Amino acid sequence: MKKIVLLLCLLTTSVFFAQERNCSSMENLEYRMQQDPELKQRMESIESFTQQRVQQYQTNRVDGNIITIPVVVHVLYKTAAENISVAQIQSQIDVLNEDFRRTNSDANNTWSQAADTQIEFCLTTIDPSGNATTGITRKSTTKTSWGTNDAMKKSSQGGVDPWDTSKYLNFWVCNIGGGILGYAQFPGGSASTDGVVNSPQYFGRTGTATAPFDLGRTATHEVGHFLNLRHIWGDGGCGVDDFVSDTPLSDASNGGCATTHTSCGTLDMVQNYMDYSDDSCMNLFTQGQKSRMRSVLDAGGSRRSLALSDKCGSVVVTPTCSDGIQNGDETGVDCGGSSCAPCQTACTDNEITISITFDNYPEETSWTLVNDSGTSIASGTYSKSNADGSTVSETLCLPNDCYTFTIKDTYGDGICCSYGNGSYSITGPDGSIKSGGSFGSSEATNFCFSNTPVPTCTDGIQNGDETGVDCGGPSCSPCQAACIDTTLKIKFDNYPEETSWNLKDNSGTVVASGGTYGSQADGSTLTINNCLPAGCYTLEFKDSYGDGICCSYGNGNYTLTNTATGATLASGASFTSTDTNNFCIANTRTDSTREIKTLNTELSLSIFPNPVTGNELNVITDNDDKSTYRIVNTLGQVLMNGELNDIKSTINVSRLSSGVYFIVVKNNTSNSTKQFIKK
């Protein structure tokens, strides 16, 4: 029996280095755990489910069911070499299919436990809006390297937001820097950062792919992590394992192709994709690794929605520059490539606008902008061709630095107010930097930009000494608890000794139970309190005699409520042997719920139909004041938002998959939250 030790450095991401190839730092893990306090608990739950499912697979063969996962590749490039070709991207998809199906040409019989995982991949042909796509997006950037803080996954930081991670495996191909080949997020992490990142020179097996990592095995390795595989050596010594029974113990990673290396008394499996060997040395996953990967894709698994995704379907659309999608060789939506107008590059630094309204002598006016080292950034010189009193403006994108703006008048009377009412202004990301008009020969203004925000309890990010987003620490209100208090009240019939119950989470694990109650008085009431993590549960009440707890021999009943809100989650009384209730609870602390806590009155809110069986949710409020709404899932993630402009409004919820959601509606004076189910 192998010893199972879950190394913390594997709980969030795996970082694959070109040289030292070590696990990501503990500081990085600690930071991620602070960002998401529930991450560890979710991953432990996933591991418990995986272990149970793997045991089932030991007696039931895992075959006969090919799972195809849709892939979207987001290419972020500064240089032409980083803007890799379609052929190079397709070669990586081919490698994934060969490696996961064991059709790779270098497969051999060295290890008898080598397996076809029956997992395949396709470049998606359908984008999140249902339109045709190549499965590839491209974005020009000014960044030379991205690091491993997931900036490439966020449009707000110059990257690309992921497509729906429940339906697509997102790849970001960009220069990570620091000799890093790639990294992946394990199951259980945030949907906003889920996927795999690869440096372009280690992606695919053609084009810019660079030896000895030029056969696409970096992506194979990282997708293994994405599907819940650990490193082959367990990231520890001989007493630490990778949770897989048919991979030999090893004391460390292997580089190159050390096929004769022995550790822990056995030959190391250096050809396994989850070691650190050269690409040409790797050639297999094992049957045990197959079972782990299939577990997260199987019914109840954390990546089940990917296995059911239909985004590999075929949609054929002739590309145009006005169809609202990025297709053909476009580098953006309806822009770039050989046929469309060039794309406008968004400013990812600090955008400023310099605006000048002339007096009656524009030809006397000029300006310069230099950075802290004296380098000229931009300038303007004008002539009689500029009309008296007219206005010119220029928008610039400036990196973090200090700058000096100097405006000059050759006559020495400024641009106001002797000969016309001229003026100038400099406006930055946070408003006005400088404005004026009355000066002599020149006027200079100094200003600086920095990425370091001043922490507040309302800026929507975790900074300063906060322990969560806008919460915790000495300055902000305490963060909401990671679990929700519930109260179970049982009123027994005349036979408490026949009554028992259990509460199971979404993976089928019993998290609470009670009974039978032979010591409880007939007709008495028992109250039981539990604190449950956000998620979905099954409450099962049993009567050993088979006549429930009402009404043949006493009027018994039970009720499970949310302690804080009083909402009923489950209830029952009259049944035979078993009574089953399914329910979901959510920790809905989001930006929208934080906003409405400052409002004192309850908004009258009705929604129908509930459950929603089609694509329309009708919302009725008690007044026609303009309101806003947000729809959040059971993890508190905002999925939709918008405005309600009438007493009755209809929201199209076709983008929501089946599940439990909350709608938060607020206006200037009141608010309300309702739960609904989308079928």
Residues serving a catalytic function are: 222
The SS3 call for residue 41 is helix
List of residues 6+ apart from 31 with CB closer than 8 A: none
The SS3 call for residue 193 is helix
Distance in angstroms (rounded) separating the CA atoms of residues 11 and 24: 10
**Edge-to-edge strand order for the sheet containing 350-357?**
391-398, 350-357, 423-428, 431-436
Instruction: Judge contact between 228 and 289, C-beta under 8 A.
Output: no
Distance in angstroms (rounded) separating the CA atoms of residues 507 and 504: 8
Distance in angstroms (rounded) separating the CA atoms of residues 136 and 148: 22
Q: Which residues pair with 404 in a beta bridge?
A: 370, 446
Q: 122 vs 70, 126, 347, 535, 595, CA distance in Å?
A: 5, 11, 33, 31, 42
List of residues 6+ apart from 544 with CB closer than 8 A: 498, 500, 516, 577
Q: Show the 3-state SS of 467-504.
A: CECCECCCCCCCCCCCEEEEEEEEECCCCHHHEEEEEE
Query: Residue 304: what are its φ and ψ, rounded to 5°?
Result: -60, -40
Distance in angstroms (rounded) separating the CA atoms of residues 228 and 47: 9
Return the DSSP state at 22: P
Q: Which residues pair with 449 in a beta bridge?
A: none
Instruction: Judge contact between 378 and 404, C-beta under 8 A.
Output: no
| Residue 497 burial (CB count, 10 A) | 15
The SS3 call for residue 595 is helix
Q: Which residues pair with 286 in a beta bridge?
A: 114
CA atoms within 13 A on the CB side of 575: 16
Distance in angstroms (rounded) separating the CA atoms of residues 407 and 354: 11
Bond preceding residue 516 cis, omega within 30 of 0: yes
Bond preceding residue 319 cis, omega within 30 of 0: no
Q: 251 vs 242, 329, 563, 624, CA distance in Å?
A: 11, 48, 49, 68
List of residues 6+ apart from 468 with CB closer than 8 A: 34, 37, 462, 479
Q: What's the token pair of residue 629?
A: 């709404």
Instruction: Judge contact between 399 and 348, C-beta under 8 A.
Output: no
C-alpha dihedral sign at 135, 139, 145, 149: negative
Instruction: Judge contact between 621 and 665, C-beta under 8 A.
Output: yes
Q: Show the 3-state SS of 125-144.
A: CECCCCCECCCEEEEECCCC
| Residue 409 burial (CB count, 10 A) | 20
Element (H, E) at 355: strand 350-357
